[in-house]
């Protein structure tokens, strides 16, 4: 009897694990299609085809494209929140080039691994609800950059810190399209160029005043 009970418990667990793997596969495929086609042009049929399943199988897990986008956005938001914890004022004690590597390397790696993230959060055709998911992340990131700059350049006034943090954030966003379209062999050189750009800007800010 005990073996029967154990077998009955194990079966739902196996089904749950298979379901979770399938969801992960569908989201991975959806991220690829969103990144390539944009939000509006992406279809559930295209996502199913990329995942190698029938549309009917996809609909067992997600009722429509919006639900898939929401699930992806939720995953991206959680990972970005973790990355933003890297922005602590204590980093100001490091040499500036090391500081930039500590912050930029994981953030650039995340963008490379998730090219659908800027599409879903900053694309010109995304629904307002996705922009609303991104808004608090943006505010938190802006505050983190401002706090870090405040530790690096304590002579700057609060309005200067906010403005400079906003410029730094837009610099980062500006390189994302180039980052995700650069051939893999050229990525190390591009990353070094990005770091050089931030090194120059932060050095100017630190020397201001």
Q: What is the pLDDT of residues 182-208, one digit of tens each?
A: 999 999 999 999 999 999 999 999 998
**Residue 5: pLDDT above 60?**
no
77: which 2 tokens?
A: 């938001």
pLDDT tens digits for 56-67? 999 999 999 999
The residues, any chain, with a CB within 8 Å of residue 116's CB and separated by 6 or more, are: 30, 31, 32, 34, 35, 72, 76
pTM beyond 0.95:
no
Query: Tell me, what's the pLDDT at 65?
Result: 96
CA distances from 132 to 5, 72, 139, 184, 189 (A): 46, 14, 11, 33, 35
Q: Report which of 61, 55, 78 is spatially closest to residue 21, judged by C-alpha positions.
A: 61
Contact 26, 34 (CB under 8 A): no
pLDDT tens string 33-52: 999 999 999 999 999 999 99
Please name the residues in contact with 166: beta carbons below 8 A apart, sequence gap of 6 or more.
142
* Domains annotated on the chain, with CATH: 1-63 (1.10.10.60), 66-209 (1.10.357)
Nearest to 96 by CA among 44, 153, 53, 141: 153
Confidence of residue 163 (pLDDT cuts 50, 70, 90): very high
């Amino acid at each position: 009897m005990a073996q029967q009970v154990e077998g009955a418990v194990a079966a739902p667990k196996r089904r749950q694990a298979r379901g979770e793997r399938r969801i992960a596969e569908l989201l991975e495929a959806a991220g690829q299609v969103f990144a390539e086609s944009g939000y509006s042009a992406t279809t559930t049929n295209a996502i199913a085809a990329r995942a190698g399943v029938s549309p009917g199988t996809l609909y067992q897990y997600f009722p429509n494209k919006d639900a898939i986008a929401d699930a992806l956005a939720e995953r991206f938001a959680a990972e970005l929140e973790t990355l933003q914890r890297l922005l602590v004022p204590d980093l100001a004690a490091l040499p500036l080039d090391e500081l930039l590597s500590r912050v930029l390397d994981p953030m650039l790696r995340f963008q490379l691994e998730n090219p659908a993230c800027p599409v879903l959060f900053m694309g010109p055709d995304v629904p307002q609800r996705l922009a609303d998911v991104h808004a608090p992340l943006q505010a938190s990131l802006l505050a983190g950059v401002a706090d870090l700059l405040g530790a690096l350049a304590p002579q700057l006034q609060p309005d200067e810190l906010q403005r400079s943090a906003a410029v730094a954030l837009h610099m980062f966003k500006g390189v994302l399209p180039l980052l995700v379209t650069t051939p893999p062999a050229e990525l190390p050189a591009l990353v070094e160029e990005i770091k050089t750009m931030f090194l120059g800007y932060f050095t100017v800010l630190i020397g201001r005043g």
